[in-house]
Amino acid sequence: MHITLTELDAGDRDALTEFLVHKGPWPFHARPRPTVEQIHQAWDAGAYTSESDRTFWLEYAGRRIGLCGFADLTDDTPILDLRLANDERGHGLGTGALRAATAWVFNEIATARRFEGTARVDNLAMRRTFERCGFVREAYYREGWPSADATYDAVGYAILRTDWESGTTTPVP
């Protein structure tokens, strides 16, 4: 499975808006149903295309299957935001997407020592994806994921550059 990342450019605002509004919902994100106005405000504020925050289309077999966002790219531990379109979920694409995202971080960001992401405790598919891709559970945040309907616990995962390069997994002591 070959998933590619294509960075959003200045002309992608409408396509991004269309994707976020119509390819969700995004039940495991802070805004499960973002509005056009919210997306445009975030775009105008540089949330998708700044020095430290960059967003990429996830593409597979000639179609856009999702989005991959990176935050804190100027830090040594970038943070992942991964979204697969609703109709693309459940087909094993998350693993390929996370592997492509991890390779991008460690190949393109020379200062990255670790790459991390957080999943809501009940997002079992993402938690399994992290583990399949060599990420290690490093944190458990009680009531760490507030949402409109409830407050959930969150689970933090990370992979070390050295583990990614060697193909090993260093467990947490």
CB-side exposure of 129: number of CA atoms within 13 Å? 27
- Average pLDDT per run of 10 along the chain, which is 173 residues long? 92 95 88 92 92 96 96 96 94 96 98 97 96 97 86 96 96 90
Q: Which residue has the tokens 């802070």?
A: 30
CB 28 within 8 A of CB 125: no
What's the predicted TM-score (pTM) here? 0.94
**Residue 100's pLDDT is what?**
98
**Residue 150's pLDDT is what?**
83
Q: Could you give the C-alpha distances from 46 to 10, 23, 70, in angstroms and in order?
A: 11, 22, 13
Q: Which residue has the tokens 């960059």?
A: 54
Domains of the chain: 4-166 (3.40.630.30)
**Residue 145's pLDDT is what?**
86
**Residue 146's pLDDT is what?**
82
Quote the CA–CA distance of 76 and 71 in Å, as a whole number: 11
**Residue 61's pLDDT is what?**
94
CB 21 within 8 A of CB 34: yes
Residues 6+ apart with CB under 8 A from 164: 102, 106, 115, 134
Q: In the structure encoding, which two tokens stand for residue 107, read together?
A: 């190949």
